């Protein structure tokens, strides 16, 4: 029986065997606060608070593939050093096969260290050297790839321009993949696509597309698609690649088939709120590859990848999308800005790791009025991201009686999520928000009319070192009085 729903293809991801070949590096994030300038030079002083070490470069593609449940193998080169050992361990922990990860003697693993204060990146320090893969080592690696291709459905080349994808190695990998009947998708770095000849699909971003075509493009301008498609087809003819997929940031994706008998496809972006685009291209590559491996059409694969990118840019830092998140997005079970408790808990943790201040308030919000808006605005002033806990319909009935709520939880959630101060809404079914707060662990909780001695939720937040703020009440507004006035 044919599959008609896009989200059903996501269930097939764990059966897909994907090989990622790419430039591996170690990403280090150092987070802290700045409140003064150095007396030695006019530069900010960062007071370090925490740091994170994670897979970088093509490693983020691998992390996304594993998060999606794909059977993943990785091919790459790192040094015979502590950083290279750490990267091998990280890949193993993800569940990916890394027997084709070469640790090269005399080569230092690439490391990128980013220093961050709040939301602001202050500095990035790179430690790297050009990779020149000796011929004998390359032949060993190609032999392992050829063997691995017998158990592979899709090959992804993640080129970060660090030296692995040269004029010897890249054509050899593509040739081996094509002989094995595997599609090859390339995330390019160079503007000379000669080394990508024979690839099924090359996926440049707008800047990279302009580099290879030698032209500038404005997606908002009339006639953009037609001009871009003509230029893209010329690239396909010149370099012998079969298709292009141009990612256009807030303007979505443009598919340019090399075959002129096939129509181009342009789909818009799906991001609601963009916090960070770090790694969005890696997520797009991973999901696109997994989707095409299942046998979906290009347009369907684009929609699935586009949905995934819309999820990941709503997170902070280099991030992954899970299979569950992607299914929910495609099923449209979540409204824009409305999260499940599980998704909100994960996001709150990511925000804290990034040094963001997580805020929280809660209520029934049955009929919105200026008092509610004032509370949201004041609460948002206290934090970077504001989560709003919303009582479910059953919870409201237990608290307010059988005639309430006036509006159901879907309507109430949509209205609250649409307000500018609100970042996310989380519906909870308990009589109080205490269980939800215990999971989210917000840094700040703010609510009107509740002194701390009569406010268990505020006491909980302060018990683990957070801050509880009693907001001033706006007199003359309450949902109950509005309902009574309507009834009278």
Is 282 part of the annotated catalytic residue set?
yes
Best CA proximity match to 23, nearest among 103, 64, 80, 77: 77
How far from 358 is each of 151, 407, 424, CA to CA, in Å? 45, 28, 11
Best CA proximity match to 192, nearest among 172, 166, 225, 215: 166
Residues 6+ apart with CB under 8 A from 59: 22, 24, 25, 27, 74, 87, 90, 91
Best CA proximity match to 317, nearest among 102, 52, 122: 52
Contact 34, 46 (CB under 8 A): yes
Contact 461, 420 (CB under 8 A): no
- Map residue 102 onto helix, strand or coil: strand
Q: What is the DSSP letter of 194?
A: G
Q: Prior bond to 427 cis, omega within 30?
A: no
- Map residue 75 onto helix, strand or coil: strand
- From CA 266, how far away is CA 248, in angstroms rounded? 10
How far from 421 is each of 249, 388, 436, CA to CA, in Å? 25, 10, 20
Contact 360, 385 (CB under 8 A): no
Residues 164, 170, 173: CA angle, nearest 5 degrees: 115
- Map residue 54 onto helix, strand or coil: strand
- From CA 159, how far away is CA 24, in angstroms rounded? 10
Kindly name the residue from 23, 282, 384, 443 that is annotated as catalytic: 282
For the annotated catalytic residues, the residue numbers are: 282
């Amino acid at each position: 029986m044919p599959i008609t729903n896009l989200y059903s293809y996501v269930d097939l991801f764990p059966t897909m065997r994907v090989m990622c070949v790419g430039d591996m590096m170690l990403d280090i994030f150092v987070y802290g606060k700045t409140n003064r300038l150095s007396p030695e030079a006019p530069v900010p002083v960062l007071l370090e608070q925490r740091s994170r070490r994670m897979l970088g470069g093509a490693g983020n593609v691998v992390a996304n593939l594993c998060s999606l449940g794909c059977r993943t193998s990785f091919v790459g080169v790192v040094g015979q050093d502590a950083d290279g050992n750490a990267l091998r361990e990280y890949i193993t922990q993800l569940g990916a096969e890394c027997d084709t990860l070469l640790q090269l003697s005399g080569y230092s693993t690439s490391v990128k260290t980013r220093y961050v204060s709040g939301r602001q990146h202050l500095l990035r320090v790179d430690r790297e050297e050009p990779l020149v893969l000796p011929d004998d080592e390359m032949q060993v690696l190609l032999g392992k790839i050829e063997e691995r291709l017998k158990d592979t459905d899709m090959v992804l080349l993640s080129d970060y321009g660090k030296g692995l994808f040269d004029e010897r190695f890249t054509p050899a990998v593509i040739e081996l993949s094509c002989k094995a009947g595997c599609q090859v998708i390339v995330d390019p770095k160079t503007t000379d696509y000669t080394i990508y000849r024979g690839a099924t699909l090359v996926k440049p971003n707008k800047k990279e597309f302009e580099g290879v075509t030698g032209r500038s493009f404005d997606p908002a301008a009339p006639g953009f698609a037609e001009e871009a498609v003509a230029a893209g087809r010329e690239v396909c003819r010149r370099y012998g690649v079969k298709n292009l997929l141009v990612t256009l940031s807030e303007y979505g994706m443009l598919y340019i088939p090399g075959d002129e008998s096939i129509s181009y496809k342009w789909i818009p972006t799906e991001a609601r709120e963009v916090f960070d685009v770090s790694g969005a291209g890696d997520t797009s590559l991973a999901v696109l590859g997994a989707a095409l491996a299942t046998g979906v059409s290009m347009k369907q694969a684009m929609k699935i990848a586009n949905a995934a990118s819309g999820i990941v840019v709503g997170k902070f830092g280099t991030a992954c999308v899970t299979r569950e998140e992607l299914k929910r997005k495609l099923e449209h079970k979540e409204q824009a800005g409305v999260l499940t408790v599980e998704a909100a808990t994960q996001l709150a943790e990511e925000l804290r790791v990034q040094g963001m201040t997580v805020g929280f308030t809660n209520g029934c919000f049955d009929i919105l009025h200026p008092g509610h808006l004032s509370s949201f605005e004041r609460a948002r002033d206290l934090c970077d991201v504001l989560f709003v806990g919303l009582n479910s319909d059953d919870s409201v009935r237990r608290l307010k009686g059988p005639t309430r709520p006036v509006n159901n939880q879907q309507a109430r959630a949509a209205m609250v999520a649409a307000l500018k101060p609100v970042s996310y809404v989380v519906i909870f079914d308990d009589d109080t928000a205490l269980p939800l707060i215990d999971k989210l662990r917000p840094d700040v909780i703010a609510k009107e009319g509740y002194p701390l001695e009569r406010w268990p939720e505020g006491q909980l937040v302060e018990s683990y070192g957070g801050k509880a703020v009693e907001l001033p009440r706006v007199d003359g507004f309450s949902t109950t009085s509005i309902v009574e006035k309507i009834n009278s």
